[in-house]
Each structure stands twice: as C-alpha cells, then as structure tokens.
Amino acid sequence: MDDLLPIGTMARLSDLSIRALRLYDGLGLLRPADVDPATGYRRYAEQQVAQAVLIARLREADVPLPEVAAVLTERDGPARRARLERWWSGREHDVIRQRDLVTALSRQLEQEMLMPPTTTHQISASVLAGALAAVLRCTSDDDSAPVITGVFVEPSVDSLRLVATDKFRLAVWDLPATGPGGLPLLLDGAVLADLLAGLGAEGTVTVEVSENAVVFRYAGVDVAVPTIAGTYPEYRRLLPTWSLPVPRALTATGSPRRSGLSGQRNRRLSVWSPHPTVCACGRAREAPRCPRSTTASPARWP
C-alpha cells in the first residue's frame, strides 16, 4: 500500500481539485484505493490517474456528470468513444437550434430598433380624393421605371405631402392632416387608384403609416397600399425657391418632347390658388389658364 498516491498528488497529476476528488468519490465516479478509517484520508492507485484525467477532460468539455458516469461504465475505449459521440450529436443539435433562435431574435430586435412606430393621421375623404385625383395624373405607366409609377408620401406633424411625376409632369400636394410625422414612403400608384374609386364625399379617412405599407381606413373598409422599393427623384430641386402667403398651385408650361423636366433652362410658371396644393406640370395642354405668371429656372432632373 506504500505505492498509493496521496490525494494532493492525485489532484496535481489529474488537474482536479481536492474538493472535486472528494465530490467524485461521493458520486461513485472515482473511488480512492484506500481510505484511512481513522482520519478519512484518501489515497489513489497510479492506475487511477488515467481515469481521473478522463473525468477532468469530460468536465472541461461541459459533459454533465450523469453522462460522465455513463461513459466511465462502458467496457473499453471504442464503446466510450461511441457513447461520447452520441451525447455530442444531441448536444450539437441543441446548440444549432439555440444559435438559430438567438440569430432570429437578434434580427427581430434590430428591426424593432430601426422600425419607426406606426403613425396615424386623420384626413377628410373629399380632400384626400381631390389630392389623389390630382397627383395620380402625373404618375408614369412605364413598368421599366417602377419608382415613378408610384406616389411619394412624406408625413409631417400637421400634413401629408403627396408627390408624383412621370419626368414630364410633377405634382406636389400638401394635405392637412392631424397626427405625428414619420418616414417617407413610396406607394403603389395602381392600388391608390383603386382606393380613389372607393372614396366618397363624406366622412374621414384614417391613414396608418408603417414601415412597409400605408393602410387607409374608410367606411369600415381597410385598404393596405404596399410600398415600392427604390430611391425617389429629388423633386424639391424643381420647386420655386420663393413662397406665397397662401397655399398655391403651380403649373409649368413647356415642351415635353426634349427631355421632360430636365429640358429647357427657363419655363413659364402659372400661379393660381383654388386649393391648398402645390402642383407643377410640364405639359402645357394639361395646365389650366391663369391670369398671373412668372419665370423660373428648374434644376436639372436626375
């Protein structure tokens, strides 16, 4: 019995603490070869060092104690290896599932941080119908350029701005609306045309603006207008730099045959104020007559 190893030596050779050796003795994973009945002092055989090292490595790999016991009860190395690989296969499946869940949750949290809250506006049905009728005239039907087939919507604190262009005409209409501001959106012009067909002269339309769509609620019917991906042209460069004391409508006369709004350097702009709107069109035949006029130099259309 003189060749037995003291518990301190066993701890140093196996990289297990004395406390862990006592725990594994109590669990039956690593019984000492000898225990002094008087002092309770534990001593181990040299052949037990390999098993102690195996236990230490299994615990370092976060193998749970019941599975460590199952590995140790196998009769030989190949059987122990097979048992360990079965455990790892199940653990790996759980890790992959957890990874996918965490990735999905991370993306969801990122979207929630970036996603603006839904904003709600109230607009008179007749006012909205007049605005849509005006701006939809200036949308394009060219499917190869989907951006200009839609209507650009810019929510602000006290208004909704609707913008449409086919690069020959430009319509900008500010709708008085109650509600907070929000991010601009480009809406599907065809769906807006369907919405216009169902609007009446009475009542109020509730407009809910979210990240991916705008929902128009009127007379118990919800119409969700999807967004169009893309960057809308910078229309503000074509608007006059001066302002009138009242809301105004602008129409620009000029030939559309050259390059639309990017054509001639100067145009005649007719100014009139029948509605709370700003409207500029590049086709003379569609511009109403007006007693007053001025000359503007629109920036080049992108």
Average pLDDT in the 260-283 region? 36
Name the domain count of the chain.
2
| Together in a domain, 9 and 101 | yes
In a domain, 302, yes or no: no
Look up the domain containing 279 and give its range: 119-296
| Together in a domain, 134 and 276 | yes
* 136, 148 Cβ separation under 8 angstroms: no
| Together in a domain, 102 and 211 | no
Q: Domain boundary residue among 109, 140, 172?
A: 109
Distance of alpha carbon 302 from alpha carbon 298, whole angstroms: 12
CATH number at residue 74: 1.10.1660.10
| Together in a domain, 75 and 127 | no
Average pLDDT in the 53-74 region? 92
| Together in a domain, 130 and 176 | yes
Distance of alpha carbon 161 from alpha carbon 298, whole angstroms: 20
162-203 pLDDT, tens digit each: 999 988 888 888 888 666 666 788 899 999 999 888 888 888
In a domain, 132, yes or no: yes
**In percent, how much of the chain has pLDDT > 70?**
73
| Together in a domain, 180 and 240 | yes
Q: Which of 42-56, 150-164, 179-193, 265-279 shows the lowest mean pLDDT across its residues?
A: 265-279
Nearest to 43 by CA among 25, 68, 69, 55: 25
Per residue, the 3-state secondary structure of 118-154, as one string, reads CEEEEEEHHHHHHHHHHHHCCCCCCCCCHHHHCEEEE
What's the confidence (pLDDT) of residue 2? 66
Q: Domain boundary residue among 80, 109, 138?
A: 109
Look up residue 82 and give its two tokens: 């097979």
CATH number at residue 252: 3.10.150.10
Distance of alpha carbon 51 from alpha carbon 20, whole angstroms: 14
Helix (H, G, I), strand (E, B) or coil at 58: helix
In a domain, 114, yes or no: no
Sequence-distant (6+) residues with CB within 8 A of 289 are 270
**Residue scoring higher pLDDT (219 or 275):** 219
Q: Which of 32-46, 68-82, 244-258 shows the lowest mean pLDDT across its residues?
A: 244-258
Average pLDDT in the 104-111 region? 76
What's the confidence (pLDDT) of residue 282? 35
